[in-house]
Amino acid sequence: MRLAFLGTPAAAVPSLHALVEAGHEVAVVITMPDRRRGRGGATQPSPVKIAAEALGISVDYDLGALDAYDIERAVVVAYGALIPAALLDRVPMLNVHFSLLPRWRGAAPVERAILAGDDETGVSVMTLEATLDTGPVHVERRVQLENQTVSELLGQLADLGAGAVVEVLGSPELLAKPQPQVGAVTYAAKLDAETFHLSPAMTVVEVMRMVRLERAFLLVGERRLRIYEVRPTAQATGSGTLSLADGEVVLGAADGTMMVVTVQPEGGRRMAAKDWWSGARLSNEIQWH
């Protein structure tokens, strides 16, 4: 099948590779423009653009470019913008969405599933509609939610989605007979930077879920300390307190404590929490907020 592919982040790359490996002709890739990624002022291309160029596929940033290509269908995976209804009228599109629709429609389905403590999540391949993630579903694939970090879970879902969209395109019956979404609708609102700010009012479970998103931080004084890994511990400390006990850095939440394993101080590199504590020359107990 002659296709266009719309996607931007690394999680979309497995689907692009899978389509090409399955023998589909991807005529053009539409992705978000190069932007600043990480430190420094230089712009960098999206992971999808890098993959497309390595495959020898034309890349564009403008949805209007699709009019120049004779394509049968487009596949959308985490493109990063809504598709206008007028374009959907001209080009039928399949969307690989990283949730079990209609649960977690919207921008941050993987993060919201982790924060909500869902037992399972998955991938839905749906017909794209102009309204937000409302289209009928051709196939879904499920995965158990255990203690995966967001990047680990995204990796699982990206691979599942790649296989699922190839399966749909290869099956006239699946392609022709999507099923309406059934169940309670929930929305995965976008997370802003402050979402990841840990609070002493959070429970141990809430802190551990937030840490799995790999962007959690707390403030020691007015400096950010990124928290990358925590584990249960029998050591005790008060809510809102960081302390050193038997060589462990212990964080006190609203209903219990955790051992902090890996951190990244503001302006520094990722390191063991006990090395950070030693280098910062802290007293045996400090407050965090």
Q: Are residues 35 and 168 in the same domain?
A: yes
Q: Are residues 201 and 94 in the same domain?
A: no
CATH number at residue 198: 3.10.25.10
Res 12 pLDDT > 90:
yes
Query: Cis peptide leading into 102, omega within 30 of 0?
Result: yes
Closest to 20 (Cα-Cα) out of 48, 46, 44: 48
Q: Are residues 212 and 179 in the same domain?
A: no
Q: Are residues 94 and 204 in the same domain?
A: no
Q: What is the pLDDT of residue 281?
A: 82
Q: What is the pLDDT of residue 34?
A: 87
Residue type, 148: Q
Q: Are residues 48 and 70 in the same domain?
A: yes
Q: Distance between CA 98 and CA 92 in Å, rounded?
A: 20
Q: What is the pLDDT of residues 226-248, one digit of tens each?
A: 999 999 898 888 899 999 988 89
Beta bridge partners of 250: 243, 259
Tokens 């038997």 locate to: 246
Q: Distance between CA 125 and CA 94 in Å, rounded?
A: 7
Q: Are residues 130 and 256 in the same domain?
A: no
Neighbours of 201 (CB within 10 A): 10
- 56 within 8 A of 20, measured Cβ to Cβ: no
Closest to 91 (Cα-Cα) out of 55, 131, 64, 61: 64
Average pLDDT over residues 121-147: 97
Among 188, 206, 227, identify where a domain stops: 188
Q: Are residues 68 and 172 in the same domain?
A: yes
Q: Distance between CA 222 and CA 245 in Å, rounded?
A: 24
Domain count within the chain:
2
Q: What is the pLDDT of residues 42-93, one digit of tens each?
A: 889 999 999 999 999 999 999 999 999 999 999 999 999 999 999 999 999 9
The sign of the torsion formed by the CA atoms of 92, 96, 100, 102 equals negative
Q: What is the pLDDT of residue 39?
A: 63
CATH number at residue 135: 3.40.50.170
Q: What is the pLDDT of residues 173-214, one digit of tens each?
A: 999 999 999 999 999 999 999 999 999 999 999 999 999 999
Among 188, 218, 239, identify where a domain stops: 188
The secondary structure of residue 11, as a DSSP letter, is: G
Q: Distance between CA 98 and CA 160 in Å, rounded?
A: 9
Average pLDDT over residues 220-225: 93
User: What's the whole-number average pLDDT of the chain?
Assistant: 95
* Domain enclosing residue 169, as ranges: 2-188
Among 172, 188, 204, identify where a domain stops: 188
Q: What is the pLDDT of residue 282?
A: 80
Q: Are residues 81 and 208 in the same domain?
A: no
Average pLDDT over residues 85-114: 97
Q: Are residues 98 and 164 in the same domain?
A: yes
Q: What is the pLDDT of residue 155?
A: 97
Q: Distance between CA 230 and CA 80 in Å, rounded?
A: 31
Q: Are residues 163 and 199 in the same domain?
A: no
Beta bridge partners of 218: 225
Q: Are residues 108 and 204 in the same domain?
A: no
Q: Are residues 22 and 165 in the same domain?
A: yes
Q: What percent of the chain has pLDDT over 90?
A: 90
